[in-house]
Each structure stands twice: as structure tokens, then as C-alpha cells.
């Protein structure tokens, strides 16, 4: 829109060009901030989401296997305790053997 006042036209052109320059500055600042952030993150010891999920799955599997092994061990210990408890009853009719004497050092 043209006005009769050339001063207002000039101000409008300056404002438009200033706005265009600010848009360019904004894009440049964003690019520099992004580069700086990438540089900082690259120095950190971070893992990707895929690596994290893989490690988490391995940990879950290891925990499940460990719980299974604990249950098996408890069952074996219970069987052993039952066998040891039954052992003296079977030998009740036999005389007890003397324990081995420790040899002097």
C-alpha cells in the first residue's frame, strides 16, 4: 500500500528489511546453538535408545534366570536337608563310626 508520505514508505521498507534480517539472525543463532549442543552431547558418554532398550532386555532376562536359579537352589537345598534328616534315622540300628581324628600339624 502506497501512502502519500515518502517518509512512511521508507520506514515501512526499513522495517521490512530489518524483519528479514532478524529472521536470518534467528536462523543463524539456532544453528549455532544446535551445533554447540551437539558438541556438548558428543563429549558425554550417552547411549542411544536402542542400546538402552537392548541392555534393559538383557537385564530383565538375567533377573528372570537368576530368580529361576534361586528357586532351583532352594529346592535342592530342601531335598538335601530332607535327605540329611532321614539319614540318621536309617543308621539308628548301626553303631556310629568314630569321627576321624585330626592329625597334628
In this structure, of 14-18, 54-58, 60-64, 81-85, the range with the lowest mean pLDDT score is 14-18
pLDDT at 35: 94
The string of pLDDT tens digits covering residues 27-41 is 889 999 999 998 988
Given a cut of 90, whether residue 60 has pLDDT beyond it is yes
Residues 51 and 86 reside in one and the same domain: yes
Q: What distance in Å separates the CA atoms of residue 82 and residue 71, rounded to the nearest whole number? A: 17
Same structural domain, 26 and 39: yes
How far apart CA 87 and CA 81 sit, in angstroms, is 10
Give alpha helix (H) positions in the chain: 6-43, 49-90
More confident residue, 31 or 99: 31
Based on the fold, state whether residues 35 and 55 are members of the same structural domain: no
Rounded CA-CA distance 14/87 in Å is 103
The verdict on 61 and 42 lying in the same domain is no
**Does some domain include residue 102?**
no
d(Cα 58, Cα 79) in Å, to the nearest integer?
Answer: 31
Residue ranges making up the domain that contains 33: 7-46
Number of folded domains that form the chain: 2
Residue 32: closest CA among 40, 9, 4 = 40
Amino acid at each position: 500500500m502506497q501512502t502519500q508520505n515518502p517518509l512512511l514508505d521508507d520506514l515501512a521498507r526499513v522495517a521490512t528489511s530489518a524483519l528479514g534480517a532478524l529472521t536470518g539472525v534467528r536462523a543463524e543463532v539456532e544453528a549455532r546453538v544446535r551445533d554447540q549442543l551437539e558438541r556438548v552431547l558428543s563429549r558425554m558418554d550417552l547411549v542411544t535408545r536402542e542400546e538402552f532398550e537392548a541392555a534393559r532386555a538383557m537385564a530383565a532376562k538375567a533377573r528372570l534366570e537368576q530368580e529361576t536359579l534361586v528357586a532351583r537352589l532352594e529346592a535342592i537345598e530342601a531335598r538335601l536337608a530332607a535327605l540329611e534328616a532321614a539319614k540318621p534315622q536309617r543308621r539308628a540300628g548301626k553303631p556310629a563310626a568314630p569321627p576321624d581324628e585330626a592329625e597334628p600339624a
